Amino acid sequence: MTSQVHFIRATGSDPAEVLAAKAKRVYLATGLNERIAEGDFAALKIHFGEAGNTGYIKPQWLTGLIWEVRQRTKHAFLTDSNTLYVGNRSNSIDHLRLAWSHGFTPETTGLPVIIADGLIGRDKQEPKSAQARTASSKIASAILDADAYICLTHVTGHVQTGLGAAIKNTGMGCASRAGKLDQHSVTHPRVNAKQCRNCSVCMSFCPEAAIVQAEGHVVIDPARCIGCGECLVVCKFGAIKMKWDEDSLRLQEKMAEYAHRVATHFQGKAVYVNFLIQVTKDCDCMAKNQKGITEDIGILACLDPVAVDQATADLLVAGGGGQDPLRAGYDIDWSGQLAHGEKIGLGRRTYSLVEIA
């Protein structure tokens, strides 16, 4: 069995209305829109781009696709979850303001923006099912409260996973802040004593009383800490840090398992749309303009996140003349997320590419 990946050629130099028409066509080709029922809550998952970044999917490119979704339901919304790092997207107020500044307003898209894990990233659900790397996942609540899922991904390279595409946008992007911590670290958060204000807020939120007073600051007792990430979420001063100690393969496998739990929730009412336009070395969390690492290729859509990411990678390598532009940026074997995704039933790496003229 193979999955059909629909593909249409497109470049960033195409007028916005042309890109909007192309995105709509490739999305409709998957048949997902017909599965959206009247009254369904439809989550359009997207990265709104960091301040100063230019590679993110532009809202004007989505107007045609969004129009089609709105013909099926009045309850569609654009969404993302808050970031683990402290910045413009680590709480919903700043996150919303950033989304608006990049044009994701009701006037442009016709949709509201809902940050899926709440004001400071604490709103989550924890579906359980034992996998090789994780026993449960901490997923942003609004994602799992929805009935249909449309994953809109600007494909990039990535410093830890090598490839940032549909699996990452779903597995990492739909996780709450605690879920992101779970994927990134197998140890526990730490306290930067110089930044700690000794306000003790984190102590009141710790479910295991693992945070204790030291001289002028708090410390985390690793013997009691369960790695839930609550302290990192509630600290307003950035004093609690994650440990970037997860090796790439384990991170990719955890990410695929999180993505699997999201995909399982939607039971066939999920679609994955990848934009291969201004594919950059680093993800859209980078607060700077980045040049593309390859020529623009187009837009892909599929009901299978593994297949669409495999096709994405294949097109990138083909566009590089057989040289992998992703590994030229970071020498990371990005295929681990695809292999593990296939192993756990997230999707198939075999696909047929259906080009739309």
The pLDDT of 234-256, averaged and rounded, is: 85
Q: What's residue 160's pLDDT?
A: 86
pTM of the model: 0.88
pLDDT > 70? residue 246: no
The pLDDT of 343-357, averaged and rounded, is: 97
Domain at 188-241, CATH from 3.90.420.10, 3.30.70.20, 3.40.30.10, 3.40.109.10: 3.30.70.20
Fill in the amino acid letter for 354.
V
Quote the mean pLDDT of the chain. 94
Q: At what angle do helices 16-28 and 63-72 cross, to 10 degrees?
A: 40
10 Å CB burial of residue 38 (0-12, 13-18, 19+) is exposed
Dump pLDDT digits (tens) for 21-75. Answer: 999 999 999 999 999 999 999 999 999 999 999 999 999 999 999 999 999 999 9
Write out the CATH class of domain 3-178+247-355: alpha beta
Position of tokens 């040289």? 323
Q: What's residue 214's pLDDT?
A: 94
Q: In angstroms, rounded to a whole number, what is the distance separating the alpha carbons of residues 246 and 252? A: 10
- Please provide the distance, in angstroms rounded to a whole number, between the alpha carbons at the two ends of the chain: 25
CA dihedral 112, 145, 57, 242 (to 10 degrees): 110
Going from N- to C-terminal start, the domains of the chain cover 3-178+247-355, 188-241
Q: In angstroms, rounded to a whole number, what is the distance separating the alpha carbons of residues 166 and 151? A: 7
Dump pLDDT digits (tens) for 133-187. Answer: 999 999 999 999 999 999 999 999 998 899 999 999 999 999 998 899 889 876 6
Q: In angstroms, rounded to a whole number, what is the distance separating the alpha carbons of residues 75 and 66? A: 11
Q: Are 37 and 266 in contact (CB under 8 A)?
A: no
